[in-house]
């Protein structure tokens, strides 16, 4: 999951390493990182990790070591967000076509992208499939893998209970659940869900227990304040890079 917990240089921060240490200790078999951006001008969020060259290789090595400490494999998810680039970050958005994101009243948060040229678009590779979305029970994860899908991806549940795989192996029937969000506005409800999950990851990164009962409105406020602060920091960082 994209954690938005990079340090001031958009490298893996100490808190991010502690979050992955919690997941490593929790017994996961494969830890897929949140988005790691391959181009600092194209970000999915303001606190994203950027890997463009070997400048912060030692931090990336430490991050990999933290995630692998419990025997899990750790795969880095590299990403170019295309049109999913928040307007608040103040960069030009490039995407396969010049079609803006349509998410109702929140659409203005994402500018209309410029269409990439054919030369910009990399070939699509065939690869093993992973199913994600709502997997919180061991039986469901087993059913997914049993159906021939290569991997069952678990995001929200692991942000609440980093030791879920170990507990499942010990036969404990944990079903980690966030406080339900029954808001009419689906876009807002989805943002609040993301915020509530991020809230858990930040707590784990501070070595604090998850707080799945966090009121969604509070998580959303905290997340928006954090995003504003990180967006300002990101813009300053980009200005500094352009001036260097
Ligand atoms: C806060 C948050 C950040 C996410 N970041 C990513 C990401 O970086 N890359 C990705 O492929 N999916 C990302 N997702 C989607 C999850 O991987 C997953 O598909 C989704 O949350 C549904 O699975 P779940 O019900 O287990 O949470 C993110 C989800 C959340 C809640």
For the stretch 23-55, pLDDT in tens is 999 999 999 999 999 889 899 999 999 999 999
**Residue owning the nearest CA to atom 23 of ligand 1:** 133
Query: Does any domain span residue 91?
Result: yes
Pocket of ligand 1 (CB under 6 A): 1-2, 34-35, 77, 132-135, 153-157, 194, 197-198
| Cα dihedral: 27, 190, 128, 99 (round 10) | -150
**Residue owning the nearest CA to atom 15 of ligand 1:** 1
Query: Does any domain span residue 171?
Result: yes
Query: Does any domain span residue 89?
Result: yes
Query: Does any domain span residue 131?
Result: yes
Give residue 242's pLDDT. Answer: 93
Atom of ligand 1 nearest to the CA of 153: 26
Q: How far does residue 87's CA lie from ligand 1's centre (Å)?
A: 21
Query: Does any domain span residue 134?
Result: yes
Percent over 70 (pLDDT), the chain:
95
What ranges make up the beta strands (E) of the chain? 30-37, 49-50, 73-79, 94-95, 114-115, 130-132, 151-153
Query: Does any domain span residue 67?
Result: yes
pTM: 0.84
More confident position, 129 or 71:
71
Distance CA 164, CA 24 (A): 11
**Residue owning the nearest CA to atom 13 of ligand 1:** 1
Residue whose CB lies within 8 A of the most ligand 1 atoms, among 132, 153, 199, for a mutation test:
132
For the stretch 114-136, pLDDT in tens is 887 655 555 334 567 788 899 99
Which residues, including other chains, have CB under 8 Å from residue 203's CB and lie 6 or more apart? 209, 210, 211
Q: How far does residue 187's CA lie from ligand 1's centre (Å)?
A: 16
pLDDT level of residue 68 (50, 70, 90 thresholds):
very high
pLDDT(162) > 90: yes
For the stretch 193-235, pLDDT in tens is 999 999 999 999 999 999 999 999 999 999 999 999 999 999 9
Q: How far does residue 168's CA lie from ligand 1's centre (Å)?
A: 21
Give residue 120's pLDDT. Answer: 58
Give residue 118's pLDDT. Answer: 58
Helices (H) and strands (E) in the chain, counts: 7, 7
Give residue 125's pLDDT. Answer: 41
Domain housing 140: 14-177
Atom of ligand 1 nearest to the CA of 156: 27
Distance CA 72, CA 221 (A): 34
**Residue owning the nearest CA to atom 4 of ligand 1:** 1
Give residue 55's pLDDT. Answer: 95
Number of domains in the chain: 1
Do the beta carbons of residue 3 and residue 201 sit within 8 Å? yes
pLDDT level of residue 94 (50, 70, 90 thresholds):
confident
For the chain, how many residues are written? Answer: 244
């Amino acid at each position: 999951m994209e954690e938005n917990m990079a340090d001031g240089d958009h490298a893996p921060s100490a808190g991010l390493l502690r979050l992955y240490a919690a997941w490593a200790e929790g017994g996961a078999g494969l830890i897929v990182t949140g988005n790691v951006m391959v181009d600092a001008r194209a970000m999915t969020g303001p606190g994203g990790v950027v890997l463009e060259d070997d400048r912060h290789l030692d931090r990336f090595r430490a991050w990999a070591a933290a995630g692998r400490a419990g025997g899990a494999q750790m795969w880095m998810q590299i990403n170019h967000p295309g049109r999913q680039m928040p307007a608040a970050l103040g960069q030009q958005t490039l995407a396969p076509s010049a079609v803006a994101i349509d998410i109702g009243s929140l659409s203005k948060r994402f500018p209309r992208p410029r269409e990439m040229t054919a030369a910009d678009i990399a070939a699509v590779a065939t690869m093993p499939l992973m199913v994600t979305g709502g997997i919180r029970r061991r039986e469901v994860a087993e059913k997914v893998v049993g159906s021939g899908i290569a991997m069952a991806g678990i995001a929200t549940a692991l942000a609440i209970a980093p030791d879920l795989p170990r507990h499942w192996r010990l036969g404990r029937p944990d079903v980690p659940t966030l406080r339900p969000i029954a808001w009419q506005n689906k876009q807002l409800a989805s943002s609040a869900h993301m915020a509530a999950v991020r809230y858990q990851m930040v707590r784990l990164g501070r070595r604090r227990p998850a707080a799945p009962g966090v009121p969604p409105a509070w998580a959303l406020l905290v997340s928006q304040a954090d995003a504003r602060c990180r967006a300002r920091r990101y813009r300053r960082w980009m200005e500094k890079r352009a001036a260097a």
